[in-house]
Amino acid sequence: MSTIFTDIDLDRPGKQVGFANLPFSAHDDAWGAVAIPLAVIANGSGPTVFVNGAIHGDEYEGPIVINELIRTLEPHEVQGRLILMPCANTPALRAASRVSPLDGKNLARVFPGNAYGTPTEQIAAYIHDVIFPRCDAYIDLHSGGSSLFIEESAQVVVTKTLAPEVRHKNEAMARAFGARLTVITSNMGDPRTSCGAAANLGLPAIAAEMGVNGSISPVGVKRTRAALQRVLKHLGVLPDIPVESPEPSRMVRIAAGGNLLSPGDGYFEPLVSLGDTVIQGQLAGYLHRLSEPSRIPEAVHFPASGMVYSQRTFGHVKQGNSLAVLVTDFRQEEL
């Protein structure tokens, strides 16, 4: 069940390019809809793989590469079915925003969604209830967004209900993807991401972070293109596509207590860089109150040891903002 409608037949062979339409009655358009780009390329028997980009509207490498596939792939190159949604959160993309301007919600924190909820919840429900049940694998392309510098990575999301055989498939997808890091994460225990929802359905899935700072990186686009081709070949849906061999991926996990949160409002001056190794208690930076010259900057220390996986891009911070996230090497005995 979904409020979203489309002229695309998700189960028909061949190549179809169009839109999924979300009814939206606004002040300036009583009978309008939000158009979400959608394509299906299907041929013969084989797996169904769903690839989306722009879950967040300030992340662009994924949509660029997915649109390339839509323009260039022909059905005879596909074995099975590709469902491609380059701009899942179209309203946020148009606003260059992490959250939707229609309801202020983050599409990566509302799954499994609500078919009769807010616009963002309806998009999540369409993906969860209509697309996921047709799929054998799912790839969610991110790129950090405007608030983050982040190491290139593929994320394997673990939940309490994730079956071991699905996790093994997820890790194999991440190795084929070939990002510099493979990050095992529970997203701070929040299962409402798209990959968290996929995990709870038993659908193999990975999320990737392939850019930074809300920009478009030529290197990020190139590496996203190569990585996506590798994992689609690994899954068997593009069996004949030529691919570059992946570099070994370092498997890590979010360090326990490794999310450094701002202790207050102000302006944060970091003293370390992305990729640096730090130890528990090390000085991370200073929290300044720039409009109060007499106040001594507050020293902020790392709560754990590890490698700096992400850092906040914005100098202005509010209490509770993530200043940095640390990762540590993952050991199989931790399974």
**Mean of the pLDDT values across residues 101-116?**
97
- Reduce the DSSP state of residue 189 to 3 states and report it: helix
Cα separation, 309 vs 17, in Å, equals 37
Residue-level pLDDT at 188: 82
Residue type, 254: I
Provide CB contacts within 8 A for 19, sequence distance 6+: 6, 8, 35, 36, 37, 38
**Mean of the pLDDT values across residues 268-272?**
98
pTM for this entry: 0.95
Residue-level pLDDT at 334: 54
- Give the percent of the chain with pLDDT over 90: 89
More confident residue, 330 or 114: 114
Lowest mean pLDDT among 108-117, 159-168, 301-310, 325-334: 325-334
Strand partners, 287: 268, 298
Residue-level pLDDT at 256: 86
**Mean of the pLDDT values across residues 212-224?**
92
Phi, psi for 23 (deg, rounded to 5): -60, 130
**Mean of the pLDDT values across residues 73-99?**
98
Residue-level pLDDT at 333: 47
Residue-level pLDDT at 93: 97
Cα separation, 291 vs 121, in Å, equals 40
Q: What domains sit in the chain, N to C, each tagged with a CATH number?
A: 5-248 (3.40.630.10), 256-326 (2.40.50.100)
Calculate the alpha carbon distances from 66 to 164, 218, 229, 324 in Å.
30, 15, 10, 29
Residue 92 has pLDDT above 60, yes or no: yes
Cα separation, 273 vs 98, in Å, equals 24
* Per-residue pLDDT reduced to its tens digit, 155-200: 999 988 888 999 999 999 999 999 999 999 988 888 899 999 999 9
pLDDT, the chain, mean:
95
Strand partners, 40: 16, 83
Residue-level pLDDT at 139: 98
* Per-residue pLDDT reduced to its tens digit, 229-259: 999 999 999 999 999 888 889 999 998 899 9
Residue-level pLDDT at 1: 78
Q: What is the DSSP pairing of strand 181-185 with strand 250-261?
A: parallel
Cα separation, 81 vs 335, in Å, equals 32
State the DSSP string of 50-92. Answer: EEEE-SSTT--HHHHHHHHHHHH--GGG-SEEEEEETTTTHHH
* Per-residue pLDDT reduced to its tens digit, 14-72: 999 999 999 999 999 999 999 999 999 999 999 999 999 999 999 999 999 999 999 99
- Reduce the DSSP state of residue 311 to 3 states and report it: strand
Residue-level pLDDT at 332: 59
